[in-house]
Chain A
Amino acid sequence: MELPHKFESLIKRSMPETVLQWQPFGRTKKKVLWVEGRFLLEISRVLRDDPEHCLDWLENLSVMDVEGALVLTYFLRSTQTQSSFLLRVSLAPMKPEDSVETFSIASIWPMGRRMELEASELFGIQFIGNHRETALILSEDPKGFPQRKGYRR
């Protein structure tokens, strides 16, 4: 069950300044909410705490490299209503080899902790509030971020 319109009105009502764009998601009727990175935590809390929709579960965090910008898609769902929602932020490194920073949502959706750490390692994203002590996937320093498009072994 997807309820983009209800979410649209919720966001419009509570924090209209955060919205960069509502974009359709593929062929579905779903819409992706693009927000500025600085509003990520705030809007995440609103989405989780809204009593009507209660998006209490982060199903997936997918990162992709789109022409040098890193696009993070958060696939959210409610365990009570089974409705789902897509939240997106994009991060642009100053130089292609630089890492980028964004807020960690692990305090809101704890199941996202490992997903963030994987993305941190593979894409060079530092999640503020979710620091990686040891490597999860890459056994040695790959000198770069292997999942970015420009990575060369």
Chain B
Amino acid sequence: MMDAVSECIDTDLTSWKIGPYHGALPGPIQVHMELDGEIIVSAKVETGFLHRGLEKELELHSWQVAMVYVDHLDPEGAAFAEQVLCLAVEEIGDIFVPPRACTIRVIVQELSRISVHLNYMARLARSVGADTVIHYILRDREKILDLFELLCGARFSLNYFRFGGVRSDMTEGFVERIFELCDLLKVRLKEYNDLFSFNLAFLERAAALGILSMEMAFRHGVTGPNARAVGISFDVRKTHPYSGYAELDFNIPTGGGTGKTSGGVYERFILRIREIEQSVEILRQAAEKITPGAYLDPKWERNPSIPSGEAYSRVESARGLLGCHVVSDGGAVPNRIQFRPPSIGLIEVFPQLIGGTRIEDLPVVLASLDISISEIDR
């Protein structure tokens, strides 16, 4: 088969840009490309279209407002930002979190992880034109959003975690529905595989596309499923366990074989399916071990007074390592809240991954990385 570059006709390069608003993009960014026919020779990414001054805003409002506003770091995975902020503030204030609240937090985070990964699968399927499976995936994701609604009234920006626990206890029937969801997802994952993962057209197209090497991932600070897909087995839930993850039995799936297609779009996709399986396992264990008791220390519910100090916390979000540096001067508002979002490495590495690929593969590579523009621009 003739490779893409040798097909090129000898013409001048053309410049082309797409964005900031385009269906092929994961959010408002602009991609500037030099094209040789249909081949992308080089690319640059322009960001900043979604900057909301989030970190500045957090310094201007009370601690309680920070807890609410932090959802907007990445609305799709709001629970992770809530958890990372809680961890840092709870360390500064030496705030005790009841075991029941810790378990509820784990459940919410794993539901969020599954929800983000399902949405990822739908986006990737859309980028390659596999429309049938999208409806099935989104139907099942709705069940997770229903569970969020049952738990806290919100489907997206949850505003559920609080310093010292969670805002409200689990509602009646919630645990039973977690078990139902676990059973359902086991069946559904097989269906997704039959419909999409093992589809030969997708497999052949995605296997050798957008290859991320281990060295590139390391150099650019890529973490999470994209790094694990190339064999970097780092996962905060294992290396720095928090909120009771140490007591749960689960594996960290990694990819990164030695073949030529290792680290491509397909490997990133398959790794997320394996992560959903592990999240289902965590959900089941957490739901089984939940104990009666307090879900929040009431003294932290209203007007929490955070003493002066600083802390750095990290969690494993659906996209990778999410870090948070919090500084308090003992006042009513935070002195500094700074985030280290996982997508920061992905936006750096992305232009290198699309060099040499065809223009029609741009949305596929972008979807396979699962970059959150919201957390990059923040």
Q: Are A137 and B340 in contact (CB under 8 A)?
A: no
Q: List 30 A-B contacts (CB under 8 A).
A: A25-B310, A26-B91, A26-B310, A26-B311, A26-B312, A28-B311, A57-B218, A60-B312, A60-B323, A60-B340, A62-B325, A63-B338, A75-B323, A75-B340, A79-B218, A79-B234, A82-B239, A110-B219, A111-B218, A111-B220, A115-B340, A115-B344, A134-B46, A136-B48, A137-B47, A137-B48, A137-B377, A139-B48, A139-B49, A147-B55
Chain B residues 340-378 with CB under 8 Å of chain A are 340, 344-345, 347-348, 377
B221 at the interface (CB under 8 A from A): yes
B335 at the interface (CB under 8 A from A): yes
Residues of A near B51 (CB, < 8 A) are: 137-139
Which residue of chain A is the closest to B310 with respect to CB atoms? A26
B92 at the interface (CB under 8 A from A): yes
Residues of B near A79 (CB, < 8 A) are: 218, 232, 234
Give B contacts to A, CB under 8 Å: 46-49, 51, 53, 55-56, 91-92, 94, 218-221, 232, 234, 239, 309-312, 314, 321, 323, 325, 327, 335-336, 338, 340, 344-345, 347-348, 377
Partner of A62, one of B92, B94, B338: B338
CB of A111 to closest CB in B, whole Å: 3
Q: Are A146 and B311 in contact (CB under 8 A)?
A: no
Q: Are A146 and B53 in contact (CB under 8 A)?
A: yes
A interface residues, tally (CB under 8 Å): 31
Q: Are A111 and B336 in contact (CB under 8 A)?
A: no
A27 at the interface (CB under 8 A from B): yes
CB of B73 to closest CB in A, whole Å: 14
Main secondary structure of the interface of B (DSSP, over half): mixed
CB of A148 to closest CB in B, whole Å: 10
CB of B89 to closest CB in A, whole Å: 11
Residues of B near A20 (CB, < 8 A) are: none
Residues of B near A135 (CB, < 8 A) are: 48
Give per-residue flags for A1-39: 1 if the beta carbon is below 8 A from chain B beta carbons, else 0: 000000000000000000000000111100000000000
Interface centre among A113, A114, A134 (most CB of B within 10 A): A114
Residues of B near A136 (CB, < 8 A) are: 47-48
Partner of A59, one of B53, B220, B321, B335: B321
CB of A67 to closest CB in B, whole Å: 10
Residues of A near B325 (CB, < 8 A) are: 60, 62, 73, 75
CB of B156 to closest CB in A, whole Å: 24
Q: Are B56 and A146 in contact (CB under 8 A)?
A: yes
Residues of B near A75 (CB, < 8 A) are: 312, 323, 325, 340
Q: Are A110 and B344 in contact (CB under 8 A)?
A: no
A64 at the interface (CB under 8 A from B): yes
| Whole-angstrom CA separation of A28 from B92 in the bound complex | 9
A58 at the interface (CB under 8 A from B): yes
Q: Which 9 A-B pairs have the closest CB atoms?
A: A111-B221, A60-B340, A62-B325, A64-B336, A62-B338, A26-B311, A137-B48, A60-B323, A110-B219
Which residue of chain A is the closest to B239 with respect to CB atoms? A82
CB of B319 to closest CB in A, whole Å: 15
